[in-house]
Amino acid sequence: MAIIYIDGKPLETQDGQNLLEACIELGLNVPYFCWHPALGSVGACRQCAVKQYRDENDKQGRLVMSCMTLVTDGMRISVDESESKDFRANIIDWMMTNHPHDCPVCDEGGECHLQDMTLMTGHNYRTYRFKKKTYVNQNLGPFINHEMNRCIQCYRCVRYYKDYAGGHDLDAFASHNHVYFGRHEDGVLESEFSGNLVEVCPTGVFTDKTLKEHFTRRWDYTTAPSVCVHCALGCNITPGERYGKLRRIRNRYNRSVNGYFLCDRGRYGYEFVNSDKRPKAPLKRQMIDGKPVHVPMTRDEALSEIGKFFSNGSKAIGIGSPRASLEANFALRALVGAENFYLGLSKADGKLLSAVLEIVLSGPARQPSLGELKDHDAVLILGEDMTNVAPIAALNIRQSVNNQPRANAKAMGIPEWNDLPVRRAMDTDRGPLFIASVAPTRLDDVATQTFHATPDGIASLGFAIANFIDPQSPAANVSGEVRALAQQIATALQSAQKPLVVSGPSCRSEAVIQAAANIAWALCRKAKPAGIYFAAPESNSVGLGLFGGANIENAAEALRKGGADTLVVLENDLYRRVPAALVDELLSLAKHVLVVDHQYSATAQKAEYVLPGATFAEGDGTLVNNIGRAQRMMQVFNPEGEITESWRWLRRLRAASGKGREDEWISFDSFLHALVAEIPAFSHILDAAPTAAFRVGGLKIPRQSHRYSGRTAMKANVAVSETGVTADPDSPMSFSMEGFSMMTPAALMSSFWTPGWNSAQSITRFQEEVNGPLEGGDPGVRLIEPQPDSAVPYFDAVETNESHDAAWTALPLYHIYGSEELSASSPAVAELSPKPYAMLHSDDARARGLLDGDAVTVKIDGQEISTSLKTNDTMARGVVCLPAGLEDAPYIEFPAAAEILRSVTS
């Protein structure tokens, strides 16, 4: 702790901070541009100048850049002193010489840091008399607009994009008064994290392109805290709605999860919510002109007609979903009975998920939170392409490679926040980070060493590493070269302070997952606080896994046995999970098929009945992320038509069938209590957010800002007098501007605003300290904790079978854009989804007389897939990689034996 005197007042600050951070934590208004909490200080913009005095007799003082000045005990400064104020006003005057002052037509207007800082410094009149410099903008792809005229040359964008996110194609060009920030030519920004530029840039140079389609000002959104549904990490988001459309997604800071950043799939994958293909009313299939057609029916018709299928004495099979909330899955389980509830996973997927859960539930290694990934100082990734499967985890692992090299800077006494000298001291040192994967990954550029092999090869490497660390862990039979690598990795992990082992199901191999566990456990037994981190496929995969239950194949068996007339499929497109023939069989075995979903999926299209479910933005629910963190999504807006949460539909059906009472589980909280009573593993989810009865000063928390406009006018087509506000029985939030928006608990916080701070930068006003947790603690609860004293035995090593016959092993490659169902139906993401391909090692291809770009046919399980060949110089041999989960691509159960033939062109 240090005491500093600011304008004569003694104030407490933390040692080692810079003055700007100290002032921010103290709630003072010191303007700044180039400093960013995640990027540190470079002292480039000169906006944060304050006066520093030698001692109490020094009346003169000197100007210092607060972001570059280390806090020292007894230090005296002034923020209010007139010379420093004039200096700051001058700086902003100069920054604005070329700024177009086009706020009214700028998408940043109203949440612009430049606007805020201009007001804060009191710069009112332009003094520069000459013409403004203008620039040509670039087309940067489907996500981001570029408007270079608005740039104030703070350099944040390139520091974020290159230094933090590891991008290569955004840079500063030219010099003097015509510095340009963009690409070397027009084109899609390559980084998967480019959308963060929108929040990092303090002006309107980079803005959301998907938002531009239906633009709304910041104060006109209806928002609520929510959770991203596009992968298993559960990044915290703030969706914004107006006029019944979901307009945009913004980051919602949570130190334990995503921090300041989102990936582009999470930020721009939301348009599926606005799709007109979605079912909006209950649908029933009827034959019209000999063709099956879905016709809408009323809620009451649907409930009375479908409810009968669940009345006492009848049996129904329910298939749940890893992309549906805990509540939705539980409601299905309650409707059909636990014994008839099946996880919506294939046998293979279920097995991989159980393998992971068994390890994290019984083993001694702790799973770090997503945010904590940044703190590890030696990382091994076993068989995952994190950037494409768990994007923000990849971004955070990319930060971890700086930890050991940063020690150099520390030894030289350079404070952590002083970005340029720290980077200079680190030089080109990175790591250690080791990546074993089937094909190259997007993190390879910062890897100490990469190793590309078949899943068995990767597992063997893993077992060999574990064996080096602890000879008790079973050895694997590996070549001398692999042994040497294993030893190198083992040494690096053992000599680190906080080693981390990362793995997941993408290799489709239990052995890879188990090898990862052996390594982490071996480190734990050697008294290293090793972390273990598994990627998971979908937003609620782990939550579903914690329910426990059988798989889709088992559901088919149960139906085959007979006795069940009805099949209920919850938020799940079975055609994406098991072979089409099996789905067709399932659907034909049941007399009645009911799908509850917000997507009109291939499965829904074949159902007899479809009930319109709510998306994440239209309902409340709980998701459990890949490490078992339960997080609450709050409903953002009221959807149109009969759309409502799946759990509510299923509850209604239960009441209609006579199984449940009409008044049972009416509110979300009562339903949540029922869930927890039934499945104690979930008891902590009650702590994920306050109950609906929570109030601040007797008031609800508003979803709309106090500046929300047009609340009467926007519904004037319905009624000229203001229409009433819909009540929300499920949460302590109101669908209006009324309520108390200060002192909101973090779990209910969706928009971060304090007077004078309208931009994304306002977040620092809500953190306990710079980069710290939100005041009152980060929302979310961990459901899975490690068993430090556990004596679980090591897994046995696999026998690698290196002799592969004529057949190839087909394995999936996941794509951030295209492999995930929901985001892939959003146009901007779909635009970047890859074309189908089959990828082989160049030598493998050459040996068969095939070249890159050739048309080939891949035969798997009797299916013939015509596609084009890609070759790669470093991927595993004997393997053919196919993109996973692309729209319209047939389902393949990986790993599969494949044949590759040159397509005959007629």
Q: Name the binder of 169 from ligand FES, ligand SF4, another protein, none, CB < 5-8 A by kind.
A: another protein
Contact status, residue 212 vs residue 140, Cβ threshold 8 Å: no
Q: In this structure, what token pair is assigned to residue 858?
A: 């891949």
Cα separation, 417 vs 39, in Å, equals: 8
Choices 166-174, 197-205, 300-308, 509-517; region in contact with another protein by CB under 8 A: 166-174
Contact status, residue 273 vs residue 633, Cβ threshold 8 Å: no
- Provide, rounded to whole angstroms, the least separation between the CB of residue 157 and ligand FES: 14
H-only helix segments in 548-661: 552-561, 580-589, 602-606, 646-656
The reply on whether position 128 binds another protein by CB under 8 A is: no
Within 427-456, the residues that bind ligand SF4 by CB under 6 A are none
H-only helix segments in 213-345: 264-268, 299-307, 326-336
Type of residue at 75: M
The reply on whether position 255 binds ligand SF4 by CB under 6 A is: no
Helix (H, G, I), strand (E, B) or coil at 285: strand
Cα separation, 766 vs 751, in Å, equals: 11
Look up tokens 């404070």; give the residue. Answer: 415
Cα separation, 826 vs 218, in Å, equals: 22
Residues 6+ positions from 129 with CB-CB distance below 8 Å: none
Contact status, residue 685 vs residue 729, Cβ threshold 8 Å: no
Contact status, residue 712 vs residue 721, Cβ threshold 8 Å: yes
Nearest residue to ligand SF4 on Cβ basis: 266
Within 256-275, the residues that bind ligand SF4 by CB under 6 A are 258, 262-263, 265-266
- Cis peptide bond upstream of 895, omega within 30: yes
Q: Give the nearer residue to another protein in terms of CB position, either 427 or 805.
A: 427
- Provide, rounded to whole angstroms, the least separation between the CB of residue 190 and another protein: 9
Cα separation, 446 vs 440, in Å, equals: 12
Within 172-211, the residues that bind ligand SF4 by CB under 6 A are 181, 201-203, 205
The reply on whether position 169 binds another protein by CB under 8 A is: yes
Cα separation, 728 vs 224, in Å, equals: 12
Cα separation, 792 vs 771, in Å, equals: 37
Answer for which of 175, 177, 428, 803 binds another protein (CB under 8 A) is: 175
Q: Give the nearer residue to ligand FES in terms of CB position, either 21 or 372.
A: 21
- Encoded one letter per residue, x for contact with ligand SF4 by CB under 6 A and - for no contact, window 587-606 reads --------------------
Radius of gyration of the chain (CA): 28
The reply on whether position 230 binds ligand SF4 by CB under 6 A is: yes
Residues in the chain: 906
Q: Name the binder of 212 from ligand SF4, another protein, ligand FES, none, CB < 5-8 A by kind.
A: none
Q: Give the nearer residue to another protein in terms of CB position, either 166 or 885.
A: 166
The reply on whether position 424 binds another protein by CB under 8 A is: no
Cα separation, 853 vs 837, in Å, equals: 9
- Provide, rounded to whole angstroms, the least separation between the CB of residue 168 and another protein: 4
Type of residue at 292: P
- Provide, rounded to whole angstroms, the least separation between the CB of residue 191 and ligand FES: 24
The reply on whether position 183 binds another protein by CB under 8 A is: yes
- 629 beta partners: 782
Give contact residues for ligand FES (rule: CB under 6 A): 20, 32-35, 43-48, 65, 67
Helix (H, G, I), strand (E, B) or coil at 463: helix
The reply on whether position 172 binds another protein by CB under 8 A is: yes
Contact status, residue 765 vs residue 706, Cβ threshold 8 Å: no
Distance of CA 445 to the CA centre of its chain: 22
DSSP secondary structure, 289-302, as one string: TTEEEEEE--HHHH
Q: Name the binder of 46 from ligand FES, another protein, ligand SF4, none, CB < 5-8 A by kind.
A: ligand FES
Choices 232-240, 421-429, 541-549, 862-870; region in contact with ligand SF4 by CB under 6 A: 232-240
Contact status, residue 159 vs residue 419, Cβ threshold 8 Å: yes
Q: In this structure, what token pair is assigned to residue 122?
A: 């009191």
Q: Name the binder of 234 from ligand SF4, another protein, ligand FES, none, CB < 5-8 A by kind.
A: ligand SF4
Cα separation, 720 vs 718, in Å, equals: 7
Q: Name the binder of 391 from ligand SF4, ligand FES, another protein, none, CB < 5-8 A by kind.
A: ligand SF4
Answer for which of 101, 126, 168, 591 binds another protein (CB under 8 A) is: 168
- Provide, rounded to whole angstroms, the least separation between the CB of residue 633 and ligand SF4: 12
Answer for which of 46, 156, 423, 870 binds ligand SF4 (CB under 6 A) is: 156
Q: Which of 493, 447, 448 is nearest to 466 (CA)?
A: 493
Choices 180-188, 352-360, 368-376, 771-779; region in contact with another protein by CB under 8 A: 180-188
- 872 beta partners: 841
Q: Name the binder of 43 from another protein, ligand FES, ligand SF4, none, CB < 5-8 A by kind.
A: ligand FES
Choices 132-140, 183-191, 416-424, 818-826; region in contact with another protein by CB under 8 A: 183-191
- Provide, rounded to whole angstroms, the least separation between the CB of residue 428 and another protein: 12
- Provide, rounded to whole angstroms, the least separation between the CB of residue 77 and ligand SF4: 26
- Provide, rounded to whole angstroms, the least separation between the CB of residue 59 and ligand FES: 25
Q: Give the nearer residue to another protein in terms of CB position, either 173 or 243.
A: 173
Q: Give the nearer residue to ligand FES in terms of CB position, either 150 or 815.
A: 150
* Neighbour-count burial of 722, counting CB atoms closer than 10 A to its CB (0-12 exposed, 13-18 middle, 19+ buried): exposed
Q: Which of 707, 687, 697 is nearest to 776 (CA)?
A: 687
Answer for which of 112, 170, 614, 737 binds another protein (CB under 8 A) is: 170
Q: In this structure, what token pair is assigned to residue 596?
A: 């509850």
If phi > 0 it is left, if psi is from -120 to 50 it is alpha, else beta; for residue 774 that is: beta
The reply on whether position 132 binds another protein by CB under 8 A is: no
Total number of residues binding another protein (CB under 8 A)? 12
Q: Give the nearer residue to ligand SF4 in terms of CB position, either 153 or 872.
A: 153
- Provide, rounded to whole angstroms, the least separation between the CB of residue 203 and ligand FES: 14
**Chain positions contacting another protein, by CB under 8 A:** 168-175, 180, 183-185
- Judged by the rule CB under 6 A, the positions of this chain that interact with ligand SF4 are 151-157, 181, 201-203, 205, 228, 230-231, 233-235, 258, 262-263, 265-266, 391-392
